[in-house]
Amino acid sequence: MAEIINLRRMRKRAERGARAAEAEQNRVAHGLSKREKMQARAQADKARRGHDGKRLDKPEA
């Protein structure tokens, strides 16, 4: 006897798989993850603060 399946669940599982595949392609196509972007921004800010801290004359804002 054949196994009984729920067609709604199968449809949703297939849609989730398709969305996951598309998301993976978008991640590859559009660059860095959020964590990597935040880490790069933090490193740049730290370098800028270190550089600004060593200035001899402070710029007038």
Task: Give per-residue pLDDT as tens, 36-57.
Answer: 889 999 999 999 999 888 877 7
How many Å apart are CA 42 and CA 36, to the nearest integer? 10
How many Å apart are CA 12 and CA 8, to the nearest integer? 6
How many Å apart are CA 28 and CA 54, to the nearest integer? 39
Give the per-residue pLDDT at 56. 78
Whether 36 is covered by a domain: the verdict is yes
- pTM for this predicted structure: 0.45
When the pLDDT of each residue in the chain is averaged and rounded to a whole number, the result is 88
Handedness of CA 42, 47, 50, 51 (dihedral sign): negative
Whether 59 is covered by a domain: the verdict is no
Spatial contact of 27 and 33, defined as CB atoms under 8 Å apart: yes
Give the per-residue pLDDT at 10. 94
Whether 15 is covered by a domain: the verdict is yes
The count of structural domains within the chain is 1
Whether 1 is covered by a domain: the verdict is no
